[in-house]
Amino acid sequence: MTPLLATVTRKEARIALFGAAALAVAATLPLFDTGFYLSLALNVAMYVVLCTAWTLFSGPTHYISLASAAFFGIGTYSVALGIDTLPFPLLVAVGFVASAALAGLVGIATLRLSGVYFVIFTLGLAELVRQVVTWAQTNFTHGVGLYVFTDFTETHIYWMLLALAAIVYVTGWLVNRSRLGFALRIIGNDETVARHVGIDTARAKVLLFMISGGFIGIVGACLAPRFAYVEPPSAFNPMISFQVVIMALLGGTGRLWAPLLGVIPFTILFDQVSAYFPNHTSLVIGIAFMAVVYLLPRGVIGFVDDMRRLKKRFRIVLVEDEGALGKERAS
């Protein structure tokens, strides 16, 4: 095998450089504002990581998972339960392992299902885990709420999420060029074919589901200090699962960076809507959502691809019309 770095193409190197520069620029934000814009950027960063981690699995396999809230909550609870006894980085690792383990269990049980059965199961999963946690707290601990007192500010959490975003992108890139990534693309296109050419489809899907779930768990772990108080309804909020799917689909799932195109504009759009129409948020967001789905049926990434194609065609037309244009300019 050739060493990893030697196989990086020039285009990939260019993208990596551009990505690193973008991250570096984003990381300077707290130097300018630690108020509202940092909070908004933190929410954007949170959903960027969540949606990208979600796309890691759901992009190539086309399985819609609504289990994000379950993994997120497990990460949050890993930190909340251990914050008084263990160092924070270790707890983040615990969050990753616990979420990945849950994803593995769920994957083994359900990834043989496909289509709507999988969606329904993952939807129930977050609620199931939430009830189990509540039950455990009822019977083995005192209250239901847990305080998470740390010295982390929003700036620290924001930087943690940016670092995590970088890790998720690199992981996604590595998976994509591995045998696993190739296997998943085949599964996504036709699972029967994949099985016939000798791919262990269940194993591949479970592995990737674990990676994806583990990262979502880390996001939950990183955000626990932001909320100061952790209780099942906020940790296992089903809205997280839906938001992740909506934003990822709005961006498009064809490429790893496509969710970015959904998360950034739509977080800002939703924010503006709730700032200017505080009493009609649901109505306006509903209309905006319908408009987006109607105008951009393949997500923002589809629109970007269309524009590129159009530009190419336009360039050809330009070359043909150059003479005519030149005359017009002269007159």
Partner 1 sequence: MKRRTLLKTAAGTMLAAGMATGLMAGSAFAQDTIKIGASAPKTGPLAGGAAVTYWPAVQLWVHDVNERGGIDVGGKKMKVELIEYDDKTSNEEAIKNYQRLATVDKVDFVIPPYGTGINLAVAPIIAKNGYPHIAVTAVADGLEEFVKRWPNTFWTLGTSQGMAQGIVDLLKKMKDDGTINNKLALVSVADAFGIEMSKTAKPAFEAAGFDIVYETSYPLTQQDFAPIISAAKNAGPDSFVAFSYPPDTFGLTQQATIADLPIKAYYTGVATAFPAFAQANGAAAEGVLGIGGVNADDPKIQDFIKRQKEVTGVEPDYWASPVQYASLQVLEQAITAAGSLDKQAVIKAIGDSTFDTIMGEWKFENNIITKFWTAGQWQGGHFKGVASTGLPGEVPIILKKGWK
CB of 146 to partner 1, least distance (A): 10
CB of 221 to partner 1, least distance (A): 15
Residue in 328, 259, 272, 264 with CA at minimum distance from that of residue 299: 259
Distance, CA of 249 to CA of 241 (rounded, Å): 12
Q: Closer CB to partner 1, residue 109 or residue 144?
A: 144
The verdict on 274 binding partner 1 (CB under 8 A) reads yes
Which residues in the 10-69 window bind partner 1 by CB under 8 A? Answer: 33, 35-40, 43, 46
Binding mask 217-256 for partner 1 (x = CB under 8 A): ---------xxxx-xxxx--x-x-----------------
Binding mask 153-192 for partner 1 (x = CB under 8 A): xx--------------------------------------
Residue in 263, 275, 222, 249 with CA at minimum distance from that of residue 26: 263
The verdict on 286 binding partner 1 (CB under 8 A) reads no
CB of 142 to partner 1, least distance (A): 7
Tell me the three-class secondary structure of 262-283, residue by residue: HHHHHHHHHHHHHHHCCCCHHH
**Contacting residue, 137, 171, 241, 253, with partner 1 by CB under 8 A:** 137
Q: Work out whether the CA dihedral 100, 103, 108, 112 comes out positive or negative.
A: negative
CB of 136 to partner 1, least distance (A): 11
- Is residue 99 within 8 Å of 50, Cβ to Cβ? no
Per DSSP, the residues of 18-67 read: HHHHHHHHHHTHHHH-SSHHHHHHHHHHHHHHHHHHHHHHHHHH------
The verdict on 271 binding partner 1 (CB under 8 A) reads yes
Q: Which amino acid is at 319?
A: V
**Contacting residue, 170, 282, 308, 309, with partner 1 by CB under 8 A:** 282
- Is residue 98 within 8 Å of 117, Cβ to Cβ? no
Q: If you count them, how many residues does the chain have? A: 331
The verdict on 269 binding partner 1 (CB under 8 A) reads no
The verdict on 142 binding partner 1 (CB under 8 A) reads yes
Residue tagged 């129409």 (tokens): 277
**Contacting residue, 1, 10, 140, 143, with partner 1 by CB under 8 A:** 143
Judged by the rule CB under 8 A, the positions of this chain that interact with partner 1 are: 33, 35-40, 43, 46, 131, 134-135, 137-138, 142-145, 147, 149, 153-154, 226-229, 231-234, 237, 239, 271, 274-275, 278-279, 281-282
